[in-house]
Amino acid sequence: MGFRFRRRIKIFPGITLNLSKSGVSTSVGVPGARMTFGNDKTSTTVGLPGSGISYTQISKDAPAPSAEPGVSILGPMLLIGLAFILLVIWLA
């Protein structure tokens, strides 16, 4: 048997920081639906809370595009920030 380490830290309601031997990831969601980002992949899990039945889809993240002169990433970053703020307000 190998050594295993895993720790979950609740940041906000519905948002957790996951620490493990293999790296750090972040989970966002509500009971029955969760997305986890980290280690160059994204996993989406949906299920019936309390039943033990769930479905998980794992996808590899595409490498980040290199910033070219004159190309701004401000627009996508603002959308991600707005989505995060709306999620925190909705979960509060």
Residue 12's pLDDT is: 86
Check residue 59 and give its pLDDT: 85
Q: Would you list the domain boundaries of the chain? A: 6-61+73-91
Q: What is the 3-state secondary structure (H, E, C) of the chain?
A: CCCCCEEEEEEECCEEEEEECCEEEEEEEECCEEEEEECCEEEEEEEECCCCEEEEEEEECCCCCCCCCCCCCHHHHHHHHHHHHHHHHHHC
Per-residue pLDDT of the chain (92 residues; tens, 9 = 90+): 678 888 998 988 888 988 888 888 889 888 888 888 888 888 888 888 888 888 988 888 666 555 555 555 555 666 666 666 767 777 76
